[in-house]
Amino acid sequence: MKKRKMGLALSFVLAAGTLLGACGTSEDKEGASSGEGNKKEDQFTVAMVTDVGGVDDKSFNQSAWEGLKAFGEEHDLEKGKKGYDYLQSQSDADYATNLNTLARQDFDLVYGIGFLMEGAINDIAQQQKDSHFAIVDAVVDQPNVASITFKEQEGSFLAGVAAGLATKTNKIGFLGGMEIPVIERFHSGFIAGVKSVNPEAEIVADYAGAFDKAELGQTIASKMYSQDVDVIFHAAGGTGNGLFKEARDLKEKDPSRELWAIGVDSDQSAEGKVGDHNIILTSSLKRVDNAVLDLSNKAKEGNFPGGEVISYGLNEEGVGLAELNEELSNKDEVMTKVDEWKEKIMSGEITVPESLDAAKSFSAN
């Protein structure tokens, strides 16, 4: 009987403790929910997967990473899982794994940088349906994927204007990475820009078949320069570094020789220094950084454009032209012409061709 009374008393104590504990837990959870919940909401996290060019390719991937860093700085985020981050791909086989890893780490938005990730983004987006993705330079038709494209032809048209007015030999080169729609837009716009100001110029083109083969870029550039080409524009990612090396080497051997290289995606003038000279005429800018920053802010504000294609051109500050080289003898004349053609494009007076077929028949008159 005594044991039964003690058992009942103990039961009442435990029950009371449970009730009190439940009340305390409810308050604790409410406090934690409001604190941590707001923290998670405020700290919208973003990350990206590079293609094989790497985050420091001085071109496409680097520009995207600068956009993510700008987003992080704007919103007081730190690099890492609670802010903004990236994973670098060593080969195509890494794309799906890296995208999946970032999605599982609960980043609010994950970017795949480059058209090479189209298949991987498509697959992972279907597996991770609660995650948001964005792809640059390709279109993936999934409700949780935003596709970012650029009007590369508009920026490269301006580069073509500069090249057409800078050449002394009337032979101009185009060095492409791979024969894909993105690079065709670069190529087409460049041809149209050159022809608009110098219809007598000859444009020769070659493709390396890769975006990470600097040695191939140098070989192609060497061949072009040896054939009296004096201006070469590249749209080849890391392969274009070979163009810069060849131009620097030739300038170092003969400082009086007039030759130029045109960069792509970001201002690549730092790659052209040779003593007191610089062989970079200008760069066709592709503002991946602006696009990444813009889309990240849209997503943070709850306006993620899933299933949509967003295209950035001159009017959206998605493409442009870097400063002209101070060594260019007719710099003022060239800059005036560049500004004139830029205004014509932005006003809709001319439409820059996106394909090589259209470029061949293009007339600015």
Residue 20 main-chain phi, psi, to 5 deg:
-65, -40
Which of these, 271, 219, 209, lies nearest to 56 by C-alpha position? Answer: 271
d(CA 66, CA 194) in angstroms, rounded, equals 31
d(CA 344, CA 319) in angstroms, rounded, equals 15
The pLDDT-based confidence of 42 (bands split at 50, 70, 90) is: low
Are 251 and 279 contacting, i.e. CB atoms less than 8 angstroms apart? Answer: yes
Are 272 and 278 contacting, i.e. CB atoms less than 8 angstroms apart? Answer: yes
- Residue 215: both structure tokens together: 């040695």
d(CA 333, CA 330) in angstroms, rounded, equals 5
pLDDT digits (tens, 9 = 90+) for 136-189: 999 999 999 999 999 999 999 999 999 999 999 999 999 999 999 999 999 999
Region 6-12 average pLDDT: 41
Residue 208 Cα to chain centre, angstroms: 20
Q: Which domains does the chain have, with CATH numbers?
A: 44-150+292-296 (3.40.50.2300), 152-285+329-360 (3.40.50.2300)
Which of these, 192, 210, 211, lies nearest to 365 by C-alpha position? Answer: 192
Count how many Cα atoms sit within 13 Å of the Cα of residue 258 in the half-sphere of its side chain. Answer: 12
The pLDDT-based confidence of 24 (bands split at 50, 70, 90) is: very low
* β 309-312/133-136 pair status: unpaired
pLDDT digits (tens, 9 = 90+) for 243-259: 999 999 999 999 999 99
Q: Has residue 22 got a pLDDT over 90?
A: no
| Residue 52 confidence (pLDDT) | 85
- Please report the DSSP string for 65-117 in residue order: HHHHHHHHHHTT--BSTTSEEEE--SSTTHHHHHHHHHHHTT-SEEEEESGGG
The pLDDT-based confidence of 5 (bands split at 50, 70, 90) is: very low
Q: Which amino acid is at 329?
A: S
d(CA 288, CA 99) in angstroms, rounded, equals 19
What are the residues facing 231 on neighbouring strands?
172, 260
